[in-house]
Amino acid sequence: MPPRVGSRHTFTSGVRDAAGRLHLTEREPYRFRPHRDNRVHVVVEGDTLWDLAGRYFAPLPRACGFWWVIADFQPDPIVDPTLALEPGRRLFIPSMRVLTDVILGEARRREHG
């Protein structure tokens, strides 16, 4: 079963080993790019990637599940999402347009399919 659209694993491929076990290839993240409608969020105490995704991507179902988009979208991507975000850190947040049309867009899925 292929990963569902919106999953961070949409941009991976499945490879079977000699024993028939399925392994995912490395995922190619959509890294920071200067779009005209990017936003900047200054982290305050208690902010998490999940909460920020829920706030900025609220129109989408299960918006907090897009935490990985914010993690990947930094000039220096966040590798471990379980670490606390440092207050005062500036995070780049892609707009809903960039998320839906560019990051999750059909052209990008075909490119990595």
Query: Domain range for residue 46?
Result: 31-112
pLDDT number for residue 1? 39
Question: Which residue do the tokens 């190619």 mark?
Answer: 28
Q: Indicate the pTM of the whole model.
A: 0.73
> d(Cα 65, Cα 76) in Å, to the nearest integer?
20
Residue 17 in domain: no
> d(Cα 67, Cα 46) in Å, to the nearest integer?
15
Residue 56 in domain: yes
Residue 73 in domain: yes
- Give 40's strand partners: 92
Q: What is the CATH number of the domain that holds 104?
A: 3.10.350
pLDDT number for residue 13? 53
Burial 78-94 (b: 16+ CB within 10 A, else e): beeeeeebeeeeebbbb
Q: Check: CB of residue 52 under 8 Å from CB of residue 89.
A: no
pLDDT band at 10 (very low <50, low <70, confident <90, very high): low
pLDDT digits (tens, 9 = 90+) for 23-39: 655 667 778 898 999 99
Mean pLDDT in residue range 54-79: 94
- The helix (H) or strand (E) run that includes residue 52 is helix 49-56
Residue 44 in domain: yes
pLDDT digits (tens, 9 = 90+) for 92-108: 999 999 999 888 886 45
How many domains are contained in the chain?
1
pLDDT number for residue 52? 98
Terminal Cα-to-Cα distance of the chain (whole angstroms): 14
